[in-house]
């Protein structure tokens, strides 16, 4: 099982946790936040995430942190409320974000930006 599969597969148990989908906007934004270098030294807390995810309640952010922890993307620092990324997890997130960004130009809107002559042909499909 590859690292990307391990993070994207659903974990079944008493409480099931869905996988991390690097093509989902919400999961991508969350990964972009936790990979910031400012959290590499001091760690990441729920309070830190609230600055960026202000539309979510603290409980919702806690559930997202728990999902990341269950999948092994973040590890908890003992007896604190701080989390950190390991080097392997940092590489996996960077790879997933790179995949997302490189494939984002394969949609119809990007194709239309490069060649607007196809707009009348593709308009019924879009």
What CATH number does residue 89 fall under?
Answer: 1.10.10.10
Contacts of 41 (CB under 8 A, 6+ apart): none
34, 85 in Cβ contact below 8 A?
Answer: yes
Q: How far is CA 82 from CA 46, 47, 103, 126, in A?
A: 8, 10, 33, 45
Counted domains in the chain:
1
Range of the domain at 69: 3-122
CA angle 28-101-84, nearest 5°?
Answer: 40
* pTM over cut 0.85: no
Convert the pLDDT of each residue in 108-117 to its tens digit. 455 444 444 4
Please, which pLDDT band fits residue 41 given cuts at 50, 70 and 90? confident
pLDDT tens per residue, range 47-102: 999 999 999 999 999 998 988 888 888 899 989 999 998 888 888 888 877 777 76
């Amino acid at each position: 099982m590859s690292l990307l599969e391990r993070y994207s597969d659903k974990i079944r148990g008493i409480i099931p946790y869905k996988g991390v989908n690097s093509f989902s906007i919400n999961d991508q934004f969350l990964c972009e936040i936790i990979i910031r270098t400012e959290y590499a030294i001091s760690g990441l807390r729920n309070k830190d995430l609230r600055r960026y995810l202000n539309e979510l309640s603290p409980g919702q952010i806690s559930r997202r942190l728990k999902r990341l922890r269950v999948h092994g993307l973040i590890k908890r620092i003992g007896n604190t409320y701080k989390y950190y990324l390991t080097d392997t997890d940092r590489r996996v997130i960077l790879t997933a974000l790179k995949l997302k960004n490189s494939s984002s130009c394969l949609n119809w809107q990007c194709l239309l930006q490069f060649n607007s002559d196809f707009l009348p042909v593709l308009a019924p499909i879009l």
